[in-house]
Amino acid sequence: MRKQLCFFTVAILAISSLFAGESVIFVHGRGGTCGSDYNTDAGNYWGTSKNINTALPKYFVTYDGYSDPRTWGNCRAQSKLYQVLEAKCIKNQGDYCIIICHSAGCYATEYFISTRDVSRYGIKFVFNSSSAAGGSELADLAFWASGNMDDALKTNNARGSYNHNNMKNIPFHMLAGYKGWWYTAWYLPGEDDGAVSFHSTCGINTTGDYSNCASGYRYSYHYIWIGRSSSSSWNSSKNGYYRQHSGDGSDAINTAMKQEWSACRSLGLGCK
């Protein structure tokens, strides 16, 4: 009987190991569509950018991208992120994950990690593609907005609703986008990607006029991503710390994120 019990225990562990491992979880930003499961990029938000160079399984946090990213409920960001992490990133089951977020999806991810006990999850690190976790002055212009995504993205709300330094030892690698459009200067301080300024996309702990990601002081566990700082597709006039969209053959910051995954692999920085 003891031998049978031992056999079944080993068998169960073996079967469990088949379903354990690492995965990549994508968290979309404003405007994304709610999906019925986490296996599909609902609304094709990520397009070809999700085709990163990896053999790891990919899952998607698909929520109502017009709702407040800090809220729970049907098709809300916090609930959908919780669902995927519970299914695919429980470390005592041997599951680990890397999160790739975009814009307000980084806001949702940071809020979740800061406000919950995430010790059960095997989150290795977070790749932040043009993060809006610090809010945007573009949202500040929507003075009428209340209780939705635009209201949440107002700089005071984004920075004041949770502790950005409380990232539970999880590294956040910041990849900021640069457009350099002249007409955004009147509402977005410093350099920006057309929607969010460097103070947010670089993880800087105060709003302000920042011309490069090396300026200012970052929140704890927020790091400048420098995986390809020597590439010609970086703008050296900005200290080479952020991706210039037009320099990588595409206007999409998420395409830059896809390329940085390959750089991360080639440099042995944790991407598989």
* DSSP letter for each residue of 57-111: -EEEE---TTB-TT--STT-HHHHHHHHHHHH-BGGGT-EEEEEEETHHHHHHHH
4-42 burial code (b ≥16 CB/10 A, e <16): eeeeeeeeeeeeeeeebebbbbbbbbbebbbbeebeebb
Distance, in Å, from the CA atom of 151 to the CA atom of 158, rounded to the nearest integer, reads 9
CA nearest neighbour of 28 among 86, 102, 88: 102
pLDDT given at position 91? 97
pLDDT given at position 252? 63
pLDDT given at position 120? 98
Half-sphere exposure of 271 (CA within 13 A, CB side): 23
Which is it for strands 243-244 and 58-61: parallel, antiparallel or unpaired?
A: unpaired
Per residue of the chain (272 residues), give pLDDT as tens.
Answer: 444 444 433 333 333 334 469 999 999 999 999 999 999 999 999 998 899 999 999 999 999 999 999 999 999 999 999 999 999 999 999 999 999 999 999 999 999 999 999 999 999 999 999 899 999 999 999 888 888 999 999 999 999 999 999 999 999 999 888 776 788 889 999 988 889 999 999 999 999 999 888 888 999 999 988 776 444 444 434 443 455 444 444 456 777 788 889 888 988 888 99
pLDDT given at position 237? 42
**Which DSSP helix (H) or strand (E) runs through 259?**
helix 253-266
The encoded tokens of residue 245 equal: 């969209």
Please name the residue that has the structure tokens 């390809």: 228
Distance, in Å, from the CA atom of 130 to the CA atom of 139, rounded to the nearest integer, reads 15
Please name the residue that has the structure tokens 């991407």: 271
198-233 burial code (b ≥16 CB/10 A, e <16): bbbbbbbbebeebebbebbebbebbebbbbbeeeee
Q: Which domains are seen in the chain, by residue range?
A: 26-44+55-266 (3.40.50)
Distance, in Å, from the CA atom of 209 to the CA atom of 205, rounded to the nearest integer, reads 12
Give 134's DSSP letter: T
Q: Is 264 helix (H, G, I), strand (E, B) or coil?
A: helix
Instruction: Tell me whether residue 247 is exposed, middle or buried, using C-beta atoms within 10 angstroms of its C-beta: 0 to 12, 13 to 18, 19 or more.
Output: middle
CB 29 within 8 A of CB 195: no
β partners of residue 172: 126, 222
Output the CA torsion 115→28→107→258 (10° steps): 110
pLDDT given at position 44? 94
